[in-house]
Chains A and B, each alone.
Chain A
Amino acid sequence: MKRELIHLENVGKSFGSLRVLDEVDLSIYESEFITLLGPSGCGKTTMLRIIGGFEMPDTGKVIFDGKDITKLPPNKRPINTVFQKYSLFSHMSVEENIAFGPNIAGKSSDYIKDKIKYALKLVNLEGYEKNDVTKLSGGQQQRIAIARAVVNEPKVLLLDEPLSALDLKLRRNMRRELVRINKETGITFIFVTHDQEEALSMSDRVVVMNQGYIQQVGTPENVYNEPENAFVADFIGDSNIIDGIMVRDKLVKIFGREYPCVDGGFPENCPVDVQIRPEDIILAAPHEGVFTGVVTRAVFWGMSYDINVEADGFEWLIQSTTARKVGEEVSLHVKPENIQIMSKPQSEDEEVAQND
């Protein structure tokens, strides 16, 4: 078991009448890469700013390494931040930017020189010491922002959507770089993003948030394959979410048909949300599968086709590597282990649904 480094205890925060975080509890472990994922306004950035000390929570505590740091200002926390807009000091050179933290900390000039070298090497920008930061590309500025933060040897690095301003190719590249830096330095990374692909490809754990609540915490595989509710299922990847009734363990009723599945533990005849991933639906000749319908739309995406099939009045989304024509009659089939049963929203989450 990894050591707990940060613990958020009942953290709540409102801006005016807007509740941004509602009694959030979360443990963050040493050296892990944890991502806060959610749509804009879900409270992920506020949570990051509370950990960084830029916002004060209305309720609850932030525990760091066993100590309560809720009221500690940012400059007293062993935590550094990489800001969304990089926020480099435009009046300083690359090396002056990186030296800012160690200078304030009163480190010797020899130590600072070594550290600048190390930090620039870490972000693959060796030899850029004297460059003017305003003349660097977006990707380079981002690397300098990372170097400037990492050079202080923080226990935790906060990253506030740091890749959102970069183009696609650079973003992919930086994803790998960030994971490498996390593993190389052992610094805990807390990463905020609304991009599920980023979250899934980089993180050790993902925290899915919506409307100020944590919806699910788990490994990327975990949140993708076993979403705990319809929001998580819908937000991460594409999903077909259908109202169903859990007849008994391992038997679910959708569109009037009973269907075997692998989940259990629900009361008999309990209404549930049933999630089926588009890539898990197998297309077959008419009446061979369980549901038969007509193709209404087919879009080619390169690797696969997105195909819409209308059956029983429900528009199914299917990903298939074989082409289908619009108007063609097909039937659908799903393996029982690919059916994910989720409980319907309960009290707290019902509140969330009302806020939508």
Chain B
Amino acid sequence: MINRLTRNVLMTPFLIWAGLFIFIPLVYIIWFGVTDKAGNFSLDNMAMIFEKGFWNALTLSVWLAFVSTVVCLILAYPLCLILTERQRDNTTIISLLFILPLWMNSLLSTMAWQTILEGNGIINQFMRLFDLPALQMINTEGAIVVGMVYNYLPYMVLPLFITLSKIDRSILEAAHDLGANSWQTFYRVILPLSLPGAVSGITMVFIPALTTFVISAMLGGGKLLLIGNIIEQEFTFQYDWHLGCALSVILMIFIILNMLLTAAFDPIKEEEKD
């Protein structure tokens, strides 16, 4: 057993870290968010979110993050089910392949998508080969969703794969034994048992998708602005730190809302309550 004193001593570096690099910056952001340039308390910057441009960027961000999360979920479930089957046959190499994009620089992979989707890109060159009309793919919402899904899919696959592989095979056999076919086994047993994994996957995809500015800048071509791009502009071009911080705080509220919402559906939390 670690006694109280050594525990406190061991905690100290982490407390200093948390104070210096998490707590103080957070206080600064909130402080900048609720003050104007003269340093007086003001909610004007916060209210700016209701300005048409900002509001549109926020709703578009939430919408695209939502769509990307749903797409990731739909892609990840069957993939993870196959992977868990495979894992039982000891071919883990495939699961490694799906983690591999995580090792690649996301900027690089997003640039790759640029070359694939752009007007003179790989897909359109291919279309031309068959005398088909060129497609407008780059600078669309679809392109941003493709970029988000590509970059964040591993974050959905990992937690889902872990929870699915923890489900004992005999549980599935029991369901089968009691008369359930494969589909009934999936939605009555596998789905509810894998929900905690899905919930953490949703959080891990939704939050970076909501705050990204790289993917939208590269695949949205500066025409489709997400809230992340606006915040970036406020800091790097407009030098309006107060507005930037206010928008960040609002984004944070949306993230907290999302986490509360997913926590409400988390069956593990449910168990701890009673």
Contacts and interface: CB of A to CB of B under 8 A. Distances in A.
Given A91-B192, A100-B175, A83 B180 contact: no
Contacts of B189: 89, 91
B174 interface: yes
A156 to B, nearest CB: 12
A204 B168 CA distance: 33
Contacts of B267: 91
Interface in B213-245: none
B179 A75 contact: yes
B170 A80 contact: no
Contact of B168 (A80, A85, A91, A149): A85
Contact of A75 (B171, B177, B188, B192): B177
B174 A83 contact: yes
A210 interface: no
Given A100-B188, A104-B184, A87 B174 contact: yes
A74 B173 contact: yes
Given A90-B193, A91-B192, A85 B170 contact: yes
Interface in B162-212: 168, 170-171, 173-181, 184, 188-189, 192-193
A50 to B, nearest CB: 13
A75 B176 CA distance: 5
Interface in A147-195: 148-149, 152
B165 to A, nearest CB: 16
A155 to B, nearest CB: 14
Contacts of B170: 83-85, 87
A147 to B, nearest CB: 12
Given A85-B168, A87-B168, A152 B174 contact: no
Given A91-B192, A91-B193, A91-B267, A152 B178 contact: yes
Interface string B67-87: 000000000000000000000
Contacts of A75: 176-181
A100 B171 CA distance: 12
Nearest to A91: B192
Interface in A60-116: 73-75, 79-81, 83-85, 87-91, 100-101, 104-105
B272 to A, nearest CB: 12
Contacts of B184: 104
Interface residues of B, number: 18
A81 B170 CA distance: 11
B168 A74 contact: no
Q: Residue among A84, A87, A88 with the most chain B CB within 10 A?
A: A87
Given A89-B171, A90-B193, A91-B267, A104 B180 contact: yes
A87 B173 contact: yes
Contacts of A314: none
Given A89-B189, A91-B193, A104-B184, A54 B178 contact: no
A100 to B, nearest CB: 5
A52 interface: yes
A90 B194 CA distance: 12
Contacts of A105: 179
Nearest to A100: B178
Given A74-B173, A83-B170, A83-B173, A104 B193 contact: no
B121 to A, nearest CB: 46
Contact of A104 (B171, B173, B178, B192): B178
B160 to A, nearest CB: 16
Nearest to A158: B177
B185 to A, nearest CB: 9
A75 B189 CA distance: 15
A79 to B, nearest CB: 8
Contacts of A74: 173, 176-177
B224 to A, nearest CB: 41
Interface of B: 168, 170-171, 173-181, 184, 188-189, 192-193, 267
Given A91-B189, A91-B192, 12 more contacts: A54-B177, A74-B176, A81-B173, A83-B173, A88-B174, A89-B189, A91-B267, A101-B179, A104-B179, A104-B188, A105-B179, A149-B178
Interface of A: 52, 54, 73-75, 79-81, 83-85, 87-91, 100-101, 104-105, 148-149, 152
11 contacts: A80-B177, A83-B173, A84-B170, A89-B174, A89-B193, A90-B193, A91-B189, A100-B175, A100-B188, A104-B179, A152-B178
Complex A-B, nearest 10 residue pairs according to Cβ-Cβ distance, in ascending order = A101-B178, A87-B174, A87-B170, A104-B179, A91-B192, A81-B177, A74-B176, A75-B179, A83-B170, A74-B177
